[in-house]
Amino acid sequence: MSTMTKKMTLERILHSQGFGSRKECRTMVRNEWVSVHGELITDPFVEFELSGFQFEVEDEVWHYREQAYLMINKPPHYECSQKPIHHASIYSLLPEPIRERGVQCIGRLDEDTTGLILLSDDGQFIHRMSSPKWKVPKVYQVTCKHPVDPDQVQTLLTGVMLNDELEPLQALSVEQIDDLTIQMTLAQGKYHQVKRMVAAVSNRVEALHRVKIGPLTLPTDLAQGAWRWLTEAEVELLMQSPKNS
């Protein structure tokens, strides 16, 4: 994520951060919409060092980021799609410049599922987090319709056979929270996997909330529908986390 002492014109910086075409970014600067450290800049071709660079667009502060890494606490009734069909898109929760950068959801949550989603425009990071090869564990809080008994927990751990699958799917761990609630960790990312596995043990998912991806836990102070940038340390932690064997 280091940009060292690389320099770039303000026009190109704005373009790289999702503020429009190069022409649109030149116009923004000439219209006095852009400040650097409180000083209005009117020359779109002035160069700045990228390391630690920040700027303001109409008084909103932005930090230069070579790649975008962020999280959203997904609320219910949102679709993880650029072209939603029945509900609003999760991308509508993001500022326009971030959407324009082309960030992608890393994996999807169903419309009625809530919780942690990662997004990025870094192809290597997206692959690392989503490839079945790496088996990144994901932890879900599952509220069931009927009380969960020890036999059901054991079957989820041993493995259940689902339609269209060639071998049983099993949870890495299942922790009983209360009679109706379990916390289930999966390494795969199959279609509707949690719901289908719970149904296979004669129960039903009433609510589903993802609380963790790899070593990263959804912050308790991130409200539903809110987003934030990942820290550099969080990105490095995710990229370095060992493959689940």
To 5 degrees, how large is the angle CA 167–CA 134–CA 3? 160
CA distance 169 to 227: 32
Handedness of CA 47, 53, 59, 61 (dihedral sign): positive
| Residue 110 falls in the annotated catalytic set | yes
The tokens for 148 are 């969960």
How far CA 214 is from CA of 52, 102, 120, 122, 243, in Å, comes to: 28, 23, 16, 18, 10
Catalytic position from the list 43, 59, 110, 121 = 110
* CA atoms within 13 A of residue 51's CA, in its CB half-sphere: 5
- Comparing CA positions, the residue from 119, 195, 184 lying closest to residue 154 is 184
List residues with catalytic annotation: 110
